[in-house]
Amino acid sequence: MIELKNIEKVYNQGTPREVRALKNISLSIERGEIFGVIGLSGAGKSTLIRHINMLERPSSGQVIVDGMDLTAMSESQLREARRHIGMIFQSFNLLSSATVSDNIAFPLKLEGKMSDDEIKARVAELLALVGLEDKAQMYPAQLSGGQKQRVGIARALANNPKILLCDEATSALDPKTTMSILKLLLELRDKLNLTIVIITHQMEVIKECCDRVAVIDGGVISEMGSTLDLFTDPKEALTKRLVSAAVRRGLPELLRHTEIVPEYTDGAKAVIELLFLGPKADAPVIVEVAMQCKVKISMLGGSIDHIKNEPFGLMVVEVGGSRDEIKHAIEELQARVHKVEILGYDQRKQLADF
């Protein structure tokens, strides 16, 4: 549905203020996909998304949307092509002096193809789609942030676009409202077969609704893959940092100050991080391995989470026993869970050991 080929964007080219905002960006997004772009401030996210509807023209490279090369189009052809691409913003960008209905009707009136009655019917349909039937005659100042963004979404969908671009659309909202907007985006994707591109700096947003993600760093795509792969096996330092902000990983705080050493010493317990994934995430693995390998396993921390609808559990456990018993238990765990990482060996003598 969307293909970016070797996009380069240089602002103020040839001047001392030259900025290479995008460097050789190539990616393709499937029809019906929810694609996330994440990165730190100034990474080039907004610049990237503004290339998809050609609010920015690339310095070089091609933008192909639904089989059409936007980079080869004239301004008037572009205006027509942009009708198929809706956009929503962090700041909602609503007209403060117009009612909710009039805000949503605005792009339809601008287009000038519908009668007043047709517009009225379409606005009613859009209000129902975003759950704002009772707010039709209110003004933006009378709405909550989440309701304002629903108006933004209804307005963006007025012309039946195939693509919805979201630039930090939930960044001004509290976590609960963010979730309700993301849920609405998921519903709309399914109902309307929309292709959605979400720009965000919050990994939580990606975790909740994106199928695939690109991480952008200094104008370059540093990592790209399925949301599940990025969360469970991040490769680049920045991805790891972003993931750890959304999912707590590694040693629990309690253990950071105790003696964890990298090699086994006599009597030490192995501190292990287990990553459970998919339908087997709730299998009684710990108890089974403890019984089979005759080791003592205690839980130090962990959580079960979901990436989209896939269960995803992270647990830190301590395994006590002889060197061979621990080795055997680690092998058994490796056979049963998605990923096993040995964080170190705990040398503390516990009261229970005496």
Ligand X SMILES: Nc1ncnc2c1ncn2[C@@H]1O[C@H](COP(=O)(O)OP(=O)(O)OP(=O)(O)O)[C@@H](O)[C@H]1O
Q: Which residues bind Mg ion (CB under 5 A)?
A: 46
In the complex, what is the shortest distance from the CB of residue 45 to Mg ion, in angstroms, rounded to a whole number? Answer: 5
- Judged by CB under 6 A, which of 38, 45, 164, 343 binds ligand X? 45
Asked whether position 170 contacts ligand X by CB under 6 A, the answer is no
Considering the complex, state which of residue 101 and residue 178 has its C-beta at the smaller distance from ligand X.
178
| 43 contributes a contact to ligand X by CB under 6 A | yes
Q: Which residues of 200-227 are buried (b: 16+ CB within 10 A; e: fewer)?
A: bbbbbbbbbbbbbbbbbbebebbbbbeb
Figure out which of the listed residues 15, 41, 74, 115 binds ligand X, where binding follows CB under 6 A: 41
Q: Which is nearer to ligand X, 39 or 146 (CB)?
A: 39
> Is residue 114 a contact point for ligand X (CB under 6 A)?
no
| Residue 46 in the binding site for ligand X (CB under 6 A) | yes
Tell me which residue has tokens 């601008």. 110
Q: Alpha carbon of 157 to those of 84, 129, 154, 165, 189: distances in Å?
A: 9, 10, 5, 11, 11
- Between CA 225 and CA 121 the distance in angstroms is 41
Query: Helix 100-111 and helix 145-157: axis angle, to 10°?
Result: 20
Rounded to an integer, what distance in angstroms lies between the CA atom of residue 87 and that of residue 180? 18
Could you give the C-alpha distances from 130 to 111, 133, 187, 218, in angstroms and in order?
22, 8, 10, 36
Is residue 36 a contact point for ligand X (CB under 6 A)?
A: no
Contact residues for 128 (Cβ-Cβ < 8 A; gap 6+): none
Identity of the residue, 19 or 300, whose beta carbon is nearer to ligand X in the bound complex: 19
Smallest distance from ligand X to CB 168, Å: 6
Min. distance of Cβ 182 from Mg ion in angstroms?
18
Asked if residue 201 binds ligand X (CB under 6 A), the reply is yes
Establish if 103 lies at the interface with ligand X (CB under 6 A): no
Residues near ligand X (CB under 6 A) are 11-12, 19, 21, 39, 41-47, 201
